[in-house]
Structure 1
């Protein structure tokens, strides 16, 4: 019979009833929640000579969808315009379903607005690249984004009392 030591009793992950009380977050599923690709000026767009300008916008949202279940959605809007008009528009809402266990509430927001988007972004990037390629354009490979750095900038700006920056609840 194994002898319990005082350090075993102080370790919350080694409870006598066998219950695992250590904090954990896991990705259950990821998916395209909504997507739109528009090519409003086809077929003329394929003959345009001007270099397009890209406008890329990101938004992050997180919401509870059940007991210890949260959906984090990465919304990416891309517009490509040239002198002649709009070449294409991509709107993607790519989401992940995360299970959460024993994580303090003050740690959820940093995870949902920094770490979860970092996990989801490479997959959303591939969906966008494929959609743009399938629309007849060269694949668009978005640059990596430092979601943690953006989140920390928002937190710091809030701490300095900058009223024009929204609270990091749903956006990063």
Structure 2
């Protein structure tokens, strides 16, 4: 393969994966530890990505996990798992799905472990978050944006 062909070949690499932010609240402690009823777990997530250099992207997966028994919150954890990715020589129409699907798929297992570890260290049984279909989330967001009018998904 020629040197020029190698220079133009698509590149995808993980430079760094890190916990950008982590917060755990136990608003009902110590009473929450006396509950015998199973808590309802709610997961909210959000993704974002921005270019931080030439072909370098910082992608953040933000999770909010809330456990409630009745109306009482047992715990609330917010975690921002981030990664620095090298993405070069990729057409713009392929860049958005990489940042919105591939990168969060890589980050999610790390975020799941971070959340589970924090919850068990707080004294609760581990919470194992089910896998997330980031492709379906991306497609749904595209459909919503197309229904509301034409514009691109921004990658800042």
**Within 2, Cα distance between the matches of 1:18 and 1:60?**
33
SS of the equivalent of 1:71 reads strand
Q: Normalised by the size of structure 2, how large is the TM-score? A: 0.89
Q: Distance in 1 between matches of 2:18 and 2:37?
A: 35
Of structures 1 and 2, the one with the larger relative CO (CA 8 A, separation 6+) is: 2
Unaligned runs of 5+ in 1: 1-12
- Residue 99 of structure 2 corresponds to residue 112 of structure 1: yes
Trace 1:80-159 onto structure 2 (pairs within 5 A). 80-83=67-70, 85-159=72-146
What are the equivalent positions in structure 2 for 1:1-172 lying under 5 Å apart?
A: 14-15=2-3, 20-83=7-70, 85-159=72-146, 161=147, 163=148, 168-169=153-154
Distance 1:156 1:84, change over 3 A: closer
C-alpha displacement of 1:84: 5.8
Q: CA deviation at 1:158?
A: 3.7
CA contact (8 A) 1:113 1:168 kept: no
What is the root-mean-square deviation of aligned Cα atoms in Å? 2.2
In the alignment, structure 2 segments of 5+ residues that lack a partner are: none
* Runs of 4+ that moved beyond 6 A: none
Indicate how the Cα distance of structure 1 residues 84 and 156 shifts in structure 2: closer, same or farther if over 3 A, else same: closer
Greater share of helix: 2
Contact 1:154 1:167 in 2 (8 A): no
Larger Rg over CA atoms: 1
Report the alpha carbon displacement of residue 63 of structure 1 after superposing the two structures with TM: 0.5
TM-score (norm 1): 0.81
Deviation of 1:67 after TM superposition, in Å, equals: 1.8
CA contact (8 A) 1:61 1:169 kept: no
